Amino acid sequence: MLYILKKYLKPVFLGSVIFIALITWFIVGSSNTPPITGQMKNFQISNRVTPAPRIPFHDANGNKKVLADFEGKVLLINFWATWCAPCIREIPSIARLHAKKNGQNFKVLPISTDAKGADAPLNFLKKINQTTLPIYVDTKMVLARAMGVNVLPTSILVDRRSNVVGRIVGAAEWDSAEALALIKHYQKK
């Protein structure tokens, strides 16, 4: 009788330990995985951690900036242009995100790739009544190319340590609950 109990209890015990270990791994492991659902289903997590390039771009006043200037904040870098229809559809959600989250260890960097400098995005944003967005420009697309941007709009998420963590190619609703959850995930890290 004792032999039979040992024979059957050993696999049951071992199976229980494995089951508990798997459940623990899913619970603990899932907190390290960003939420990628709904509006963020096309978010591509970077396969390896890469530091954001230290290539200069400019603000609306012509001052040089580099992404490291914003270290300590999660960044949403949105490469866009005034002639890009999907970019134009996306700008209102970028502006709403900026209004909701800016300054909470987070910064939106809408970087225009218009060749005409800061005047083109400045006039365009005034025209569509989105004057609260900061204006940054990369007129020769040097930073955009260094970050692998081939299509506009492209939005790149950078963590607080200035590492590229992922991207979305194409327009997204950046003020959606899913986008806010994704940003919050990286703010906690």
**CATH code, 165:** 3.40.30.10
Rounded Cα distance between 89 and 80, Å, is 11
Position with higher pLDDT, 161 vs 5: 161
The residue among 116, 119, 154, 152 whose CA lies nearest residue 135 is 119
Sheet holding 163-169, edge to edge: 44-51, 163-169, 154-158, 74-80, 106-112, 136-137, 57-59, 64-65
Give the DSSP letter of residue 179.
Answer: H
Q: Tell whether 51 and 20 lie within a shared domain.
A: no
28 pLDDT tier (thresholds 50, 70, 90): very low
Q: Tell whether 86 and 145 lie within a shared domain.
A: yes
SS3 31: coil
Mean pLDDT over 24-47 rounds to: 74
pLDDT tens digits for range 123-147: 999 999 999 999 999 999 999 999 9
pLDDT at residue number 103: 84
Q: Tell whether 150 and 80 lie within a shared domain.
A: yes
Rounded Cα distance between 121 and 58, Å, is 13
Which of these ranges, 89-98, 102-111, 141-150, has the smallest mean pLDDT?
102-111
- The DSSP bridge pattern shows strands 74-80 and 106-112 to be parallel
- Domain hosting 147: range is 37-188
pLDDT at residue number 114: 97
Q: Tell whether 18 and 49 lie within a shared domain.
A: no
Q: Tell whether 101 and 174 lie within a shared domain.
A: yes
pLDDT at residue number 24: 46
**DSSP characters for 70-131?**
GTTSEEEEEEE-TT-HHHHHHHHHHHHHHHHHTTSSEEEEEEE--TTTTHHHHHHHHHTT-T
Q: Tell whether 89 and 176 lie within a shared domain.
A: yes
Phi and psi at residue 163, in whole multiples of 5°?
Answer: -105, 135
Q: Tell whether 16 and 79 lie within a shared domain.
A: no
Under a CB-based contact definition with an 8 Å cutoff, are residues 98 and 135 in contact? no
Question: Domain tally for the chain?
Answer: 2
Under a CB-based contact definition with an 8 Å cutoff, are residues 137 and 114 in contact? yes
179 pLDDT tier (thresholds 50, 70, 90): very high
Q: Tell whether 147 and 82 lie within a shared domain.
A: yes
Phi and psi at residue 109, in whole multiples of 5°?
Answer: -120, 85
In this predicted structure, the answer to whether residue 155 has a pLDDT above a threshold of 90 is: yes
pLDDT at residue number 29: 47
pLDDT at residue number 189: 81
Q: Tell whether 28 and 119 lie within a shared domain.
A: no
Q: Tell whether 91 and 160 lie within a shared domain.
A: yes
Q: Tell whether 41 and 28 lie within a shared domain.
A: no
35 pLDDT tier (thresholds 50, 70, 90): confident
Q: Tell whether 28 and 41 lie within a shared domain.
A: no
